[in-house]
Amino acid sequence: MLPILHDIQAEFGCVDADSELIVAEALNLSRAEVHGVVSFYHDFHPTADNRPVVQICRAESCKARGVESLMAQAQALAGDRVKLSTVYCLGLCSAGPNARVGDTLHARLDAAGLAQVIENAR
């Protein structure tokens, strides 16, 4: 089910109720089972949001390396143009603070580095 849901999210920008029903019927599941998966994972959204997304790791390791001190400036820079999304681990715990845009990871970020990531987000 997860690969199908990821494909729907990538193609349409969301996994809405109609998509959940189609997946449920195709996999012989109830819509509730599909919705349970969709609502559990933060990658799936019920409505499309066309803004670029910058995922910022706010797990303990990145917190210890100062990510929280970067958040106010990041939110100000992002404004309404870029969606900032909190995630809890991008797998680079020894090189934090980290962010991801699409499939590109950015490590060892300071205020200037995170600002550049947000500015370049497309």
pLDDT of residue 122: 78
pLDDT of residue 72: 95
pTM (two decimals): 0.77
pLDDT of residue 111: 96
**Coil, helix or strand for 85?**
strand
What is the rounded (10 degree) CA torsion for 98, 55, 64, 66?
Answer: 80
Nearest to 100 by CA among 112, 81, 114, 111: 114
Q: What is the pLDDT along the chain (122 residues), one digit of tens a residue?
A: 999 999 999 999 999 999 999 999 999 999 999 999 999 998 899 999 889 999 999 999 999 999 999 999 999 999 999 999 999 999 999 999 999 998 899 999 999 999 999 999 97
pLDDT of residue 4: 97
Q: Which residues, in sequence order, are CB contacts of 30 under 8 Å at separation 6+?
A: 24
